[in-house]
Every structure is written in structure tokens, then in C-alpha cells.
């Protein structure tokens, strides 16, 4: 529909469709069509539509919204600061409880992608062309303040490693943001390492062994219980070693 309204050069209908239908159901698959529609909408209208879309969908589709921002940043004429600002503001909504979904007759959207390091790498690299670094710093502050959502181990540190590989692509603003995130991640990990991790309360392992031989069946049964001690049998040997779980 986006492509059809773009070909028909119907800016009013196109804007209405994007605001009332696409924004509600956006899952990232529309990004290419959205870029193509900008010439019909016009710069000011496109900036308003896309910033509203990102504001509405950043919570559910942060990776996809960031990919849209990446695509906009690649064309100087499409670097709408309103869209970048909406993406940074939307960082506060990621991980918050969702409200009741609005009624929609559309097909089910694509499954949500887990938040990974590529999201953060794209965000920091992309914000610089929009606003000279101010947004990079704001994004870094928001991400560093919420380690429960933007995990330092699985998201922040891997993203920093990826950014640091492309040294020539880094700017002063990105370097400053990376340093801030690196410091906050190091402080988080050092604080966590002050207390030894608690042993698991349940030693059971949810593992399904494909082999049906007697040894594997016995191992399968062992994995499903919570013993005070267990015996390890070595196939082909009569001896057995006993160990106690702690």
C-alpha cells in the first residue's frame, strides 16, 4: 500500500495511511518503502510522520527503528533531526510494561528481535550525523543508567568492541560516548564481582538427550533429579566415582 500510494503521488492519503495504519503495525519490513515515500510526502511532512512512528514503536521495535535511522543517515537530505531525537527519547520506554494493544485487523507482525549489540552500535554510529554529537551523549547517559535493560555484558561491552574495531569510522562524539559506556560497564562489573555468585538452588538440567542407549537414559534420569550426591559411571569400566553436589 505504501508503494502504491507513492506511485499515485497521493501525499495526503499516504500520510494518513502511515499515521493511522503503519505506525500501529510497524515491524521494520516497511523501511525501504518508507524511504521511497519521502519524496511524495515532502521533507517537513516526512520528518513529522517518521518521528511519530519512531516515538510510538521504539519500545517494541528498537532494533528496527534504529535500522530506519541508519538508512536515513546515509542520505544527507533525509537526516531529519526530529527522527533522531525521537529515537533517543524512546530509549526511556524500552523495557517498560506495555499498555493494552489497540485493535488491529492486520496479520501478525514479525517476531520481536532480542536487544543485541548491533542495536547499540548502529545507534551510536548513526546519531552523529544528525546532531553533532549532542544526541550521542544523551543516548549514552540513558543506556548507562539502565543496566537492567541494556545489559553491560551482552549488549554494551560487545557493542563497544565492535565500534572500536572500525577506528576510522569513529568521531569525537562517538569516542566520548564509548568512554562513558565503557566506564559505566566496568563499574557495573566490578560492583557485581564484589560478592561471590550464589550457588544454584536447583541442580537439575533441562536437557533432552537424543541417544536412547541405557547409559544415556540413566544420565537423562540423573539430570532430572536434585540429589545430595551422584555417581558418575564410565562406560566400559567397572569403577565408579562419587561426588557430592554443593
Cell of 204: 537439575
Mean pLDDT, the chain, rounded, equals 84
| pLDDT tier for residue 150 given thresholds of 50, 70 and 90 | very high
Indicate if the pLDDT at residue 14 is higher than 90: yes
At a CB cut-off of 8 Å and minimum separation 6, what does 212 contact? none
pLDDT for 112:
76
Q: What is the DSSP letter of 196?
A: P
Name the one residue in this structure whose C-alpha cell is 519521502. Answer: 38
Please state, as a whole number, how many other Cβ atoms lie within 10 Å of the Cβ of residue 26.
Answer: 22
pLDDT on residue 240: 40
Q: Exposed, middle or buried by CB within 10 Å (0-12, 13-18, 19+), for 68? A: buried
Pick 196 or 244 by higher pLDDT.
196
The stretch 184-194 carries a mean pLDDT of: 89
- Measured between alpha carbons, how far is 4 from 40 in angstroms, rounded to an integer? 12
Distance CA 170, CA 93 (A): 27
Q: For the chain, count helices (H), then strands (E).
A: 12, 2
Out of 70-74, 79-83, 94-98, 149-153, pick the least confident: 94-98
> Which 8-state DSSP code applies to residue 110?
P
Which among 87, 202, 190 is positioned nearest to 143, based on CA atoms?
Answer: 87
Which grid cell is 82?
526530529
Calculate mean pLDDT across residues 205-211: 83
Alpha carbons 217 and 245: distance in angstroms, whole number: 21
Residue 239's pLDDT band, with cuts at 50, 70 and 90, is very low
The continuous run of DSSP H or E covering 63 comes out as helix 62-73
Residue 131 has pLDDT above 80, yes or no: no
The model's pLDDT over 70-80, given as tens digits with 9 standing for 90+, comes to: 999 999 999 99
Strands (E), 95-183: none
pTM (whole model) above 0.75: no
pLDDT for the residue 241: 40
Give 170's pLDDT tier (boundaries 50, 70, 90). low
Closest CA to 66 of 15, 114, 118, 24: 118
Q: Is the pLDDT of residue 235 over 60?
A: no
Sequence-distant (6+) residues with CB within 8 A of 142 are: 88, 91, 92
Amino acid at each position: 500500500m505504501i508503494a502504491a500510494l507513492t506511485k499515485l503521488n497521493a501525499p495526503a492519503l499516504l500520510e494518513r495511511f502511515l499515521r493511522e495504519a503503519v505506525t500501529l503495525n510497524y515491524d521494520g519490513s516497511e523501511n525501504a518503502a518508507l524511504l521511497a515515500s519521502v519524496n511524495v510526502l515532502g521533507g517537513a511532512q516526512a520528518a513529522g510522520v517518521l518521528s511519530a512512528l519512531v516515538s510510538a514503536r521504539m519500545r517494541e521495535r528498537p532494533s528496527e527503528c534504529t535500522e530506519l535511522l541508519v538508512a536515513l543517515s546515509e542520505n544527507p537530505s533525509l537526516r531529519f533531526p526530529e527522527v533522531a531525537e525521537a529515537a533517543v527519547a524512546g530509549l526511556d520506554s524500552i523495557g517498560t510494561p506495555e499498555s493494552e494493544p489497540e485493535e488491529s485487523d492486520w496479520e501478525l507482525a514479525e517476531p520481536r528481535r532480542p536487544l543485541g549489540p548491533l542495536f547499540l552500535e548502529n545507534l551510536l554510529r548513526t546519531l552523529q550525523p544528525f546532531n553533532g554529537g549532542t544526541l550521542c551523549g544523551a543516548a549514552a547517559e540513558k543506556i548507562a543508567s539502565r543496566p537492567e535493560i541494556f545489559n553491560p555484558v551482552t549488549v554494551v561491552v560487545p557493542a563497544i568492541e565492535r565500534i572500536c574495531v572500525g577506528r576510522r569510522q569513529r568521531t569525537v562524539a562517538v569516542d566520548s560516548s564509548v568512554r562513558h559506556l565503557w566506564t559505566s560497564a566496568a563499574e557495573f562489573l566490578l560492583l557485581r564481582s564484589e560478592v561471590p555468585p550464589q550457588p544454584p538452588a536447583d541442580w537439575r538440567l533441562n536437557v533432552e538427550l537424543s541417544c536412547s542407549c541405557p547409559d544415556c537414559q540413566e544420565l537423562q534420569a540423573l539430570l532430572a533429579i536434585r540429589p545430595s550426591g551422584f555417581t558418575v559411571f564410565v562406560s566400559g569400566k567397572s569403577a565408579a566415582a562419587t561426588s557430592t553436589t554443593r
